Amino acid sequence: MIDISGLVNLMIAEQVNIPLLYPIIYNFVLKIPVIGNIVAFLLGIPIIRYLIAFILWKPIFILLIIPGFGTLGTMLLVLPWLERKLVGRMQWRVGPREIAPRTRGSIQLLADSLRFLCQEVIIHKEAHKPYFLQFPFLYFLPVLLPLLFINAGTIGRTLVPIESEYALQLMIALISLMPVFILGVGWSSNNRFAFIGTVREAFMYFAYEIPFIIAILAMVILYGTSNTVGVVSAQTSWWNWGIILNPLAALTFFVAAVMATARLPFEIPEADQELAFGPFIEYSGIAFGLAYVMAYEKMYVLSAIMTMLFLGAGSGPAIPYVTPLLGDLYYAILFVIKTLIILLVMVNLRGVYPRYRLDQGLRIGWGAMLTLGLIAVAWSIVLGVVL
């Protein structure tokens, strides 16, 4: 038997604080006749207690449940549905509905993903088979890793899996990795359109990456730290959120994020009508499903960063009774709601804008966005001096 008591103690010390949880279990769940007994029995087993402790261990809870993978997974199911619904409203129609009309068609994506799962995966003979198959899966990692550094809490309530002095830099580095995989995907597809799409992606990569970094840089200068905990603590209340202090940086970041996730009006590398999904043109079945999901993951990560940098992460007014009961969870939920709002704005741009041409996209990236970013940096410096 390995002695895990040290680890357990460590975990117990850093449990996520949800005051509501224990009253619920002890006052409600355990009093339900049969289920209560079972739960009581389960709680009696040591390993399960350790497991619960492990899950409720702050870094793990944040990473796995909220705002980490669990939320991400839910988001992936809900977001496309919400997107379709909202864009549908914008377009004078209703969006998915016939599937389970009671739920307003909310399980549409479940059907889609199930169908993708059961479908044939075609690897055409001209493709570079190993890379063609590996890249979509490899792509997963750099997309998810930035979540490790996201602080979803607020001042005094840090909700971050890994605290680091270089958290923002690391995030930038990880996000910059993503296009490399898209390039790989496009290259291994060995298709004209994938090739053109890849080249476009490469061009766009440089165009958005620099404003993106500069926007973050502006905030780093403003907050005087690149530690996510520090960043969040700097935004004490709504009037000194990043977006208020430096709206230009927020705009630059947002536009760069839209560019990075290839959403309209910057859906240039995928350009359905021109390139038919560009780099992903040859993917079918679950492989395409992955690629489809990946875009949303990336969007989620970028929105989360934006929430953290500009919208004060989980900070928000405390609501009597609710806040004390939910504890840490309240701030995490606030964080997720803010992220969702950013996400919805981002995805619904699809209903408002057509697509820019590559050269126009590049011009915006290298021209307007870079200028805005630099102004934002200057503004940060000015603010830094003043404050």
Partner 1 sequence: MKKVGTPEYNLQDKLKYHLSALSTAAKQVALPLNITTHYPRERRRWPDCFRGYILFDPERCISCFQCSFICPANAIWMKEAPSNRYYPTLDYGKCIFCHFCVDSCPGGALKPTKIHDVAYRTMEEMLTLTEEMVEPPEIIREDKVFVDYVIDTEDLSLKRTKGRDNLIVEIAPSQGVPMVSQCVDRASCIACKVCEKVCESGAVSSIKDEERLIVKMAIDAEKCTGCGLCVKECSMQILRLVRK
Partner 2 sequence: MENKNAHIQFLESGPLAPFKKWAAKWSLWPCHFITSCCGVELAHAFACPRSPQAPITLNLGISRQSNFIIIEGTITRKMARALQFVYGQMPDPKFVNVIGACGERGGIFWNSYNITHPSDIVPVDFFVPGCPITPEALLRGVRALQDKIMGIDRKTIEFKTVELPFVELEERKVPTSPKLYAPTPAIKVDVKQEVDWDFGKELADTIKKELNGLYKSVTITGKDRIAIRTTPVNLLEVARKLRDQMQLDHVKSVNVIEVPHERKFIVEYTASSYSVEALMPVLVTIFTEIGMKDPKIPSLTSVWESANYCEREMHEFFGVWFEGNTWMGKKFLLAPDTPDLPLRKEFKIPEERYVFEKDVTPEFMVPIEPPKDLYVPIWEEFIKDAYESDEIVVPIGPHHAGSGHLRVTFRIKGDVIVDAIPEPGFVHRSMEKLAENKLYIQNIPLFERLAINDPVNMNLGYVRTIEKALGIEVPERAQYLRTIMAELSRIEAFYYDSGIFSLFFGHTTGFMYCMAIREMIIEALMRITGSRSGPSFVVPGGIRRDIPDDVLKMIDNITFAVHKRMKKFEDIFVTNPVTVARAKGVGVLTKEDAIRCGMVGPFLRASGVNHDIRKVSPYEVYDKLDWEVTTGDDGDCLGRFLGRLEEIKESVKIIKQAGDAVRGIKGPILSDAILGEYKEAASDIKGSFFRVFGNLVLPRGEWTCLTEAGRGTLLFSLISDGESNVPYRVRVISPCWMNLRGFMEAVKGERYADFWAVYGSFGYFPPEADR
CA angle, corner 19, sides to 16 and 22, nearest 5? 100
Q: How far is the CB of 353 from partner 1 (least distance, A)?
A: 7
360 lies in the site for partner 2, by CB under 8 A? yes
102 lies in the site for partner 1, by CB under 8 A? no
Q: How far is the CB of 355 from partner 2 (least distance, A)?
A: 4
Q: How far is the CB of 90 from partner 2 (least distance, A)?
A: 6
98 lies in the site for partner 1, by CB under 8 A? yes
At position 29, the amino acid (one-letter code) is V
C-alpha span between 67 and 264 (Å, rounded): 26
Site for partner 1 in 113-132 (CB under 8 A): none
355 lies in the site for partner 2, by CB under 8 A? yes
Q: Which does 348 bind (CB under 5 to 8 A by kind): partner 2, partner 1, none?
A: partner 1
- Contact (CB, 8 A) for 327 and 271: no
Helix axes 247-260, 370-386, angle to 10 degrees: 150
49 lies in the site for partner 2, by CB under 8 A? no
| 155, 284, 370, 383: residue in contact with partner 2 (rule CB under 8 A) | 284
Q: Which does 114 bind (CB under 5 to 8 A by kind): partner 2, partner 1, none?
A: partner 2
Site for partner 2 in 94-113 (CB under 8 A): 94-99, 105, 108, 111-112
Pick between residue 92 and residue 321 the one whose CB is nearest to partner 1: 92
Q: How far is the CB of 263 from partner 2 (least distance, A)?
A: 10
Contacts with partner 2 by CB under 8 A lie at 84, 87-88, 90-99, 105, 108, 111-112, 114-122, 192-193, 196, 264-265, 267-268, 271-274, 276-277, 281-285, 288, 350-360
